Amino acid sequence: MSKLSLGVERAATALAVRTDAVPVIPGATATALSLPAGISFAAWEGIGQTLGQIASAHQWWMGDWWRYGEQEYGERFAQALDSRWKPQVWMNAAWVAGAIETSRRREVLSWGLHAEVASLPPADQEAWLDTAEAGDLSVMELRRAIKRWRVSASAPGSLPAGKFAVLLADPPWQYEFNSTDAARAIENHYPTLTADEIACLEDADGRPVADLAADDAVLFLWATNPKLSEALTVIEGWGFTYTTNLVWVKDRIGMGYWARQRHELLLVATRGSMSPPPEHLRPDSVIEAPRGRHSEKPPSVHEFIEAIWPGTPKVELFAREARDGWVAFGNQLEAA
């Protein structure tokens, strides 16, 4: 018996389940499938069906297995992982499996289609899986449809009239991989956009966001550390040149893969001949303030901008609350 078949047998025995509930393929090894001579067509066909089942199910199995170990065994789980495995592949499988409950998984749809909707809230997952099933969509077709929907959902109805010398923006950055805990997914809070989509974003009338900036203007752009290079792409797309940055240091540590994050960046960019603030009004480059609600930023940022440019037209992009002295727009905008 091959190591692969033996491993399946042992796993089934340990779980006290029938081995015929788990696909077992005689002659299967890690590098080949040796079929005996003279097997019947029905047997050959049955092996093919089993291979198809494994191909369509193995990523769900990987994800559910990883999540079980992570939740059940803690540090022992990490110690047991084989160094030859590619953790990112398994972690991504675990993230998708965690985001989509078993009751919402559909055998008639591929893993790839499920992965495309995993970052969405449950109700939207259902709707897009229905769409994919009814329209027999490919992964690429579904991705494009969701992308069009994201852009439509994130775009403002109409941009405010006029030009602004001061712009503040907190874009809805899109992350390829959030967490194995679906509750932390950013799309559970608001629709997100790629850097290219943000840089080229237009309102319902076809007016680009970049058109809001005056010839001489300054842009304050919020960016998380993993999104620094993408934020520079947005700055260039909006017609600005990077100048400097401030850092917001929070009172609580967050998540992260290389380092657990406790700060965010506020990038400063200019266009034309926009002058820097006078020396006595220049803010400290370090903003120390506690974390608030999801994505909420320190009010001190608005305050120092208002102190520097009290009578200058100011606009806040992707705003969540209206504020006196500012023109604000965003699909999450709340009344002051």
pLDDT confidence tier of residue 333, bands split at 50, 70 and 90? low
Euclidean distance between CA atoms 160 and 141, whole angstroms: 34
Cα 57 versus chain centre, distance: 24
What is the per-residue pLDDT across 237-272, written as a single tens digit (0 to 9) for each? Answer: 999 999 999 999 998 887 777 888 899 999 999 999
Percent of the chain with pLDDT over 70: 83
CA angle 266, 271, 273 (to 5 degrees): 120
Q: Is the pTM of this model over 0.85?
A: no
Number of Cβ within 10 Å of residue 178's Cβ equals 20
pLDDT of residue 51: 86
pLDDT over 90 (residue 291): no
What is the per-residue pLDDT across 157-212, written as a single tens digit (0 to 9) for each? Answer: 678 889 999 999 998 888 764 443 433 444 444 567 788 888 888 877 788 888 99
pLDDT confidence tier of residue 75, bands split at 50, 70 and 90? confident
